[in-house]
Amino acid sequence: MTGVRHHIPDPLLVAYVSGSLPQAYSLVVATHLSMCDDCRARATAHEAVGGSILESCGTADLSGGLRQRVFDMLDEPVIETPRYERSGIFPAPVMEALGGLPPKWKSLGMGVRQSILSHDEGGSVRLLYIPGGQAVPDHGHNGLELTLVLQGAFRDETGRFGVGDLEVADDDLEHTPVAEDGVACICLAATDAALRFRSLVPRLLQPIFRI
């Protein structure tokens, strides 16, 4: 996809390629990679560097017990996982997280809806539906939030984010995202901590909506 202006920062991309990025963030990064030629090329370059480093490392003999466990694992039957294709605005990684089914939207009020894809102690990832012209309540962050636009666009204090753009927000940012007029803005968002809302009502509803 061309026209993407906000990309994955290198530290996040390296963590993803090395397999050390938490699952919630990995889903957002994988989805962005499916939409962005530039970041996909950068990820391939990081993989090549990582492969070269591994090849330059020394080797070590495996103990008999470990060798046998490896052989036993290789003998286990292979369970094929379903393959998912892009469906509408939802890229393949999102369709995989949805199990091939449409999102189950739940209202957050004022026309805003969410569909939680996963939520545990390690973080959460969800789809957000924001009607055109609607604002998300002003909030800060207690950790890292990745927000990827799948449809429409939104603006906040840091700029404009359209389809394929990734916003990286940390605990230094307090903002009020507003969906642009027209088509609803649909985003994929991952967090590792609860948001900090300034208004009382959003704070009271946080435990219910798991935001």
Q: Which pLDDT tens digit goes with each residue over 30-84?
A: 999 999 999 999 999 998 876 555 556 656 665 667 767 776 666 776 666 788 9
pLDDT digits (tens, 9 = 90+) for 142-189: 889 999 999 999 999 999 999 999 999 988 888 899 999 999 999 999
The rounded distance, in Å, linking the Cα atoms of 105 and 130 is: 12
Residue 102 has pLDDT above 90, yes or no: yes
DSSP code of residue 157: T
Residue 201 has pLDDT above 70, yes or no: no
Backbone φ and ψ of 182, nearest 5° = 110, -135
Domains and CATH numbers, the chain: 1-211 (2.60.120.10)
Mean of the per-residue pLDDT values of the chain:
87
Confidence of residue 137 (pLDDT cuts 50, 70, 90): confident
Average pLDDT of span 192-210: 65
The pLDDT of residue 14: 96
The pLDDT of residue 116: 95
Confidence of residue 140 (pLDDT cuts 50, 70, 90): confident
Percent of the chain with pLDDT over 70: 80
The rounded distance, in Å, linking the Cα atoms of 94 and 188 is: 9
The rounded distance, in Å, linking the Cα atoms of 198 and 102 is: 33
What residues have CB less than 8 Å from 5, skipping those under 6 apart? 162, 165
The pLDDT of residue 204: 57
Average pLDDT of span 185-201: 81
Count of beta carbons in the 10 Å neighbourhood of residue 79: 5
Tallying the residues shown for the chain, one arrives at: 211
Residue 132 has pLDDT above 80, yes or no: yes
pTM for the full predicted model: 0.81
Contact 137, 204 (CB under 8 A): no
Confidence of residue 209 (pLDDT cuts 50, 70, 90): low
